[in-house]
Structure 1
């Protein structure tokens, strides 16, 4: 015994470090489990088979009465021709996208030996394959959700530019694990294309990694916008069209108006601003309520960020998924291609075994399947507001609401009130 009553340690022995109350964020590296060769082969085979079916459905394009491929053949091609002459669409009510969308719409020019439609679809398939490879490398469960979930939307993903946008967001989230500047730069580029990829930075833990990611996002977005402003005219004309949008029939507010119309409300649907929207009494009030709900969602996310104290390996993934869910359900639109975003983010969540989003992520699968019934298969019923159309929207949006409630509750409990 020493004079102070402390027994000295034997020579060469060291005290074990005190366990931390909350394990520090490690970028998710401890949870990265690469797929086995058999898993990769099976995933590749299923990807090839399902994408071949999706491509065949797009070429035939006889599902429902929608003409899914027409968006690429006519609208995207018309925008491409304007952009190729150095000008963004002006006074075009259908052009409602940030200027970075020009990168995707002009990309078929890299394949001049193909038609615009062929080149666009091929680029979408390449982006799809990139997402699949990235997810398989990060965690095979996420790869399976993406590979099996995307075909639930039938041929729609191949004829919209949401898969390339989702690819940027997925790569941004996965890069944040070990290269926050790269992740931030990708998120900034994604934000100039479709805005929502910026939400991938919401859950980055406090510290130098977050500052590096946000700094890189601002720098990349500013640099790309500067290039587009200098290289094109009418770069910011899309802002004029955003404010004029109404309540699209597939939105949460649109579902309420569908039910109200069946109960005697005198409103009707009209094709305007590139979509079917409601016109009639109280539509403007429903639109304002949607905007208020979006503002409330933003405030809740800010509150979560301020109150959050516990970051785990999956927190950045979980926060991005919950945030996009919130902004989706409060949107005045909720187009079926929004499910592409949610499938991608849900898949990223499942790459980490510490995710708390598994129930909400799996709910995206039936939501996508019901969305495909609503569009393109039974879209005439949705537009007409028949009992079948109303039921499809009630089920689809009900599933979205349930997934959002689960995601927000679990995100709050995991980061603010764990245990």
Structure 2
């Protein structure tokens, strides 16, 4: 891949920013039990829940009849990985590995940003955007999942097969990275990427089924989830409490959910909106007539945004996914998602205010908590709508015009352009 002349100054500045911000995040991790935002609530999931699952997995079984286990079998590999580091506690190993994956992601974005015609804005967004979530990213395994999605997108232009493999591995850990294959260019790249993803997924599932029992136990628990208090539907129900709705909150399925009349209706509406989002994305794919090097990136961000907003659950760590995908978009100067990336950063900052700082207000459904979630989810909804609208416009040139259409060239780092007439 050709490299543009990039002075070392910006890269050194990004390195210094990464080191400084990650040192602050580690400081918050170490002092998590002190009277800081969220206290030990942020890190409790690792040393209590993840460590418990590690013990179950180490005995050759996925958690069965555990309402908190709602993850595909690939998550087991991530949760077992800390056991490979000797001399450290499970918590220390988990944080260290997460930090290493964070550094790998930042390095990949820097490398992509220093290519000819590319931008370091993506690396800057990841480096400076992740700390908006305080120390939460180091206490969840979503950084690892996001890294697989980011790497899948970045390598797909040169090797659709490798992109498909990485996308499949990400999907085996947390499903959503399968969406990064949505924008692969038509023809051979799509067939190669999707075929390699299917074969990789099937092969890994077969291996996991040999060495572990109950690999699909997560499906039973995932189907029972309700409406989380932080979701868009949860915000509607929380506001309805001020109008006399008799529902309340309850901790179940690993999240604080709302229970009461009409909750199942709201959940059904969320699922219907997710189905509608899938239909819109398929329609875009069928009708798109113009691809640029940024189209796969933009499509991935738009798809994940749509499914996040319409989900019954919007946990704060979901923002890690969006920051990572927005960062990939900004590595390309042809992206249509720059204003969307700004909305993602604003929503991430508000997510931190909601959790862990004012989470009690959110759970209790006070006016402050409701307005906070209304603002955060409003930003996410606006980002999703804007993202899809800009993706649609970028791929649909005016009728009768001759437009540049990008097609893959085997072994090329960038996609060449060729003029074709739009129908």
- What TM-score comes out, normalization by structure 1 length? 0.91
- Aligned residue runs from structure 1 range 216-227, under 5 A: 216-227=196-207
Separation (CA, whole Å) in 2 of partners of 1:135 and 1:102: 27
Residue 347 (structure 1) aligned to one of 327, 345, 349: 327
- Aligned residue runs from structure 1 range 368-379, under 5 A: 368-379=348-359
- Aligned-pair CA distance for 1:217: 0.7
- Aligned residue runs from structure 1 range 315-334, under 5 A: 315-334=295-314
The residue that corresponds to 1:38 in the other structure is: 9
Separation (CA, whole Å) in 2 of partners of 1:35 and 1:71: 41
- Aligned-pair CA distance for 1:64: 2.9
Separation (CA, whole Å) in 2 of partners of 1:360 and 1:85: 44
1:367 and 2:367 equivalent?
no
* The structure with more radius of gyration: 1
- Aligned-pair CA distance for 1:388: 1.2
Residue 57 (structure 1) aligned to one of 9, 14, 28: 28
The residue that corresponds to 1:17 in the other structure is: none
Residue 85 (structure 1) aligned to one of 34, 37, 59: 59
* CA offset digits 1:137-179 (Å, max 9, x no partner): 1111100000000000011100000000000000000001111
The residue that corresponds to 2:223 in the other structure is: 243
Separation (CA, whole Å) in 2 of partners of 1:78 and 1:388: 35
Equivalenced residues, count = 390
Partner SS state of residue 85, structure 1: coil
Q: Which runs of 5+ in 1 are unaligned?
A: 1-28
- Aligned residue runs from structure 1 range 162-181, under 5 A: 162-181=142-161
* CA offset digits 1:355-396 (Å, max 9, x no partner): 001100121111100000000111011000111111110110
Tell me the C-alpha RMSD between the 2 structures.
1.3
* CA offset digits 1:178-232 (Å, max 9, x no partner): 1111011100111110111111110011111111111111111111111111110
* CA offset digits 1:9-48 (Å, max 9, x no partner): xxxxxxxxxxxxxxxxxxxx78x75753111111111001
Judging changes above 3 Å, is the alpha-carbon distance between structure 1 residues 123 and 266 closer, same or farther for their aligned structure 2 residues? same
The list of structure 1 runs, each at least 4 consecutive aligned residues, that deviate by more than 4 angstroms after superposition, is 32-35
Judging changes above 3 Å, is the alpha-carbon distance between structure 1 residues 104 and 406 closer, same or farther for their aligned structure 2 residues? same
The residue that corresponds to 1:287 in the other structure is: 267
Separation (CA, whole Å) in 2 of partners of 1:402 and 1:314: 21
Judging changes above 3 Å, is the alpha-carbon distance between structure 1 residues 182 and 296 closer, same or farther for their aligned structure 2 residues? same
**Contact (CA 8 Å) 1:65, 1:380: kept in 2 or not?**
no
Residue 303 (structure 1) aligned to one of 278, 283, 288: 283
1:154 and 2:131 equivalent?
no
- What TM-score comes out, normalization by structure 2 length? 0.90
